[in-house]
């Protein structure tokens, strides 16, 4: 295993810490969970990223799943360059916003109207506010390890960066903000049904990642999601699918297409912006019409639906729509990686569980054959994961720098990239017994 020379990244990080808290603008980027200083990235192209010291890596982070077409796809970048010449933001409506909204409603039958925002956190926060305003009820249910952004009422037993740092809830969040948030274990439908039936008169909504990916990829068991849909519908509780990660990723119509479920509200992001900051929430017409200016629930954003992000999103979605082979290719690459990883795990007798859905995957360093909830995730060996991450990085493979995150494949990844990745995994695991 070669040692990486990252003097320029180290210098950048030392300088960043003088001006930016922790030297990063989002906690998981700090690499603390893997015992390293972060790499500073200079550029990306296709399936690869290049750090400040000139090293190239096969990228399985892809801006945390946003870049399904890979880095700097000219079919997205060129139209955006044209939009930039006309202006970046107007704080007023543009025709392209209608185009993007129409595309979303065509791809997601559960969404009759949609409101654009600038981030997934904003969309999730707004969807919950809308649920409370529409139902007149206050309590919400979320699931352990599911991450729905960094708003106060949702930052309780959250995944993503919060899980990485072992923070079940953030300092600075008043208890009053979380007292109406009920936390339940994912995949335990009996507990969910019990609580919903008990709290239905006070319960505004249930928010869930249909395929949790912010504590690593967790697959829903049996008919968990269908039963969740049924019990919320029967008890007049709004069901919110947070598809910021799974939307346009596991299928063009997201997880709700795979599981044939129509939630009341849906949150979208990541791929929706083609690498630019944009998100959205949408759903049934009668619920969405409660939003201001037509209804009493206030939500606003200066840069919501800005022309640059909207243009990138439109072109990304049109590429996905026109080429129906993209998802077949992503599944083939995912299957190739999965079969190779499982072969290596069997041969090395290493305690690792692989979980995958399409182009999403996580390697859990655990003695369990399956990880089904936050409790299972929390029992993973974080030291072994950190060593594995460091070894993979030294071999040119850039994975998510936390056991509690998903990894992603783009259409720019090749069979050769998968082969190189498997070779790196085999050498990394064989050297760590």
* Band (133; pLDDT cuts 50, 70, 90): very high
What is the extent of the structural domain holding 140? 74-322
Rounded distance between C-alpha atoms, residue 389 and residue 31, angstroms: 10
Rounded distance between C-alpha atoms, residue 183 and residue 172, angstroms: 19
* Band (168; pLDDT cuts 50, 70, 90): very low
Exposed/middle/buried for residue 233 (C-beta within 10 Å: 0-12, 13-18, 19+): middle
Strand ranges inside 300-364, DSSP E: 353-357, 360-364
318 plus 367 within the same structural domain = no
Residue 68 lies in a domain: no
Per DSSP, 270 falls in state G
- First CA to last CA distance, the chain: 15
Chosen domain end from 322, 354, 383:
322
> What is the dihedral sign for C-alpha 347, 352, 353, 355?
negative
**What does the pLDDT look like over 201-234, one tens digit per residue?**
999 999 999 999 999 999 999 899 999 999 999 9
CATH number for 371: 3.90.1150.10
Query: Which residues are annotated as catalytic?
Result: 147, 242, 270
pLDDT score, position 170: 57
Residue 412 lies in a domain: yes
pLDDT score, position 163: 41
Rounded distance between C-alpha atoms, residue 214 and residue 168, angstroms: 14
Record the tokens describing residue 205, joined without a space: 């909504």
pLDDT score, position 173: 62
Between 155 and 380, the more confident residue is: 380
Per DSSP, 54 falls in state -
* Contact indicator for 68, 412 with CB cutoff of 8 Å: no
Q: Which of 105, 103, 75, 25 is nearest to 277 (CA)?
A: 25
124 plus 266 within the same structural domain = yes
Rounded distance between C-alpha atoms, residue 317 and residue 366, angstroms: 37
314 plus 365 within the same structural domain = no
* Band (2; pLDDT cuts 50, 70, 90): low
* Contact indicator for 213, 245 with CB cutoff of 8 Å: yes
312 plus 358 within the same structural domain = no
Between 72 and 155, the more confident residue is: 72
**What mean pLDDT is predicted for residues 57-65?**
98
Q: Of 5-14, 87-96, 166-175, 239-248, which range is least confident?
A: 166-175
Residue 424 lies in a domain: yes
Record the tokens describing residue 230, joined without a space: 């049924």
Chosen domain end from 290, 322, 354:
322
Residue 66 lies in a domain: no
Average pLDDT of the chain to the nearest whole number: 93
169 plus 188 within the same structural domain = yes
Rounded distance between C-alpha atoms, residue 219 and residue 141, angstroms: 19
CATH number for 119: 3.40.640.10
Residue 331 lies in a domain: yes
335 plus 198 within the same structural domain = no
Between 220 and 161, the more confident residue is: 220
pLDDT score, position 1: 44
346 plus 280 within the same structural domain = no
The number of beta carbons lying within 10 Å of the beta carbon of residue 414 is: 13
302 plus 426 within the same structural domain = no
* Contact indicator for 389, 26 with CB cutoff of 8 Å: no
Strand ranges inside 144-278, DSSP E: 181-184, 203-208, 238-243, 265-268
189 plus 225 within the same structural domain = yes
Under 8 Å CB-to-CB from 107, ≥6 apart: which residues?
Answer: 248, 252, 253, 317, 321
Instruction: Report helix, strand and coil shares of the chain as percent, to nearest 5.
Output: 45, 15, 40
Rounded distance between C-alpha atoms, residue 287 and residue 58, angstroms: 43
Record the tokens describing residue 53, joined without a space: 């010291």
**What mean pLDDT is predicted for residues 381-404?**
96
Domains held by the chain: number? 2
pLDDT score, position 156: 65
pTM recorded for the entire structure: 0.94
pLDDT score, position 430: 84
Per DSSP, 154 falls in state G
Query: Tokens 């010291």 — which residue?
Result: 53
246 plus 363 within the same structural domain = no
pLDDT score, position 42: 97
Q: Is the pLDDT of residue 339 over 50?
A: yes
151 plus 31 within the same structural domain = no
Q: Which of 334, 309, 101 is nearest to 217 (CA)?
A: 334
pLDDT score, position 313: 98
Chosen domain end from 269, 298, 322:
322
Under 8 Å CB-to-CB from 41, ≥6 apart: which residues?
Answer: 49, 50, 51, 52
260 plus 358 within the same structural domain = no
């Amino acid at each position: 295993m070669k040692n990486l020379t990252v003097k320029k990244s180290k210098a950048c990080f030392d300088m960043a810490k003088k001006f930016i808290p922790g030297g990063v603008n989002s906690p998981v980027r700090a690499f603390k969970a893997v015992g390293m200083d972060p790499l500073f990235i200079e550029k990306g192209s296709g399936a690869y990223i290049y750090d400040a010291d000139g090293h190239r890596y096969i990228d399985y982070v892809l801006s945390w799943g946003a870049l399904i077409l890979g880095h700097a796809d000219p079919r997205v970048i060129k139209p955006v360059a044209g939009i930039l010449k006309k202006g970046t933001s107007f704080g007023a409506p543009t025709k392209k916003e209608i185009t993007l909204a129409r595309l979303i409603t065509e791809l997601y039958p559960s969404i009759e109207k949609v409101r654009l925002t600038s981030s997934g956190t904003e969309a999730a926060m707004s969807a919950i506010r809308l649920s409370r305003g529409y139902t007149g009820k206050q309590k919400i249910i979320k699931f352990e390890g599911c991450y729905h952004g960094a708003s106060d009422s949702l930052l309780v037993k959250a995944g993503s960066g919060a899980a990485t740092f072992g923070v079940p809830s953030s300092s600075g969040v008043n208890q009053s903000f979380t007292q109406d948030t009920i936390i339940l274990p994912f995949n335990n439908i009996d507990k969910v049904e019990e609580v919903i039936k008990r709290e239905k008169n006070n319960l505004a909504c249930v928010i869930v990642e249909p395929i949790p990916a912010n504590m690593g990829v967790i697959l829903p068991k049996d008919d968990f999601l269908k039963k969740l849909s049924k019990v919320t519908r029967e008890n007049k509780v709004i069901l919110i699918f947070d598809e910021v990660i799974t939307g346009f990723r596991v299928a063009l119509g997201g997880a709700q297409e795979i599981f044939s479920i129509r939630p009341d509200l849906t949150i979208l992001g990541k791929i929706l912006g083609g690498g630019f900051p944009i998100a959205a929430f949408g759903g049934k017409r009668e619920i969405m019409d409660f939003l201001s200016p037509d209804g009493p629930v206030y939500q606003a954003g200066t840069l919501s639906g800005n022309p640059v992000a909207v243009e990138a999103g439109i072109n990304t979605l049109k590429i996905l729509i026109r080429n129906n082979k993209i998802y077949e290719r992503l599944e083939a690459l995912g299957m190739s990686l999965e079969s190779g990883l499982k072969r290596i795990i069997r041969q090395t007798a290493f305690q690792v569980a692989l979980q995958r859905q399409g182009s999403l995957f996580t390697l859990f360093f655990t003695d369990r054959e399956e990880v089904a909830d936050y409790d299972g995730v929390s029992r993973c060996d974080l030291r072994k994961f950190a060593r594995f991450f460091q070894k993979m990085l030294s071999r040119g493979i850039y994975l998510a720098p936390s056991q509690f995150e998903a990894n992603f494949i783009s259409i720019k990844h090749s069979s050769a990239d998968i082969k190189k990745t498997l070779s790196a995994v085999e050498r990394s695991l064989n050297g760590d017994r």
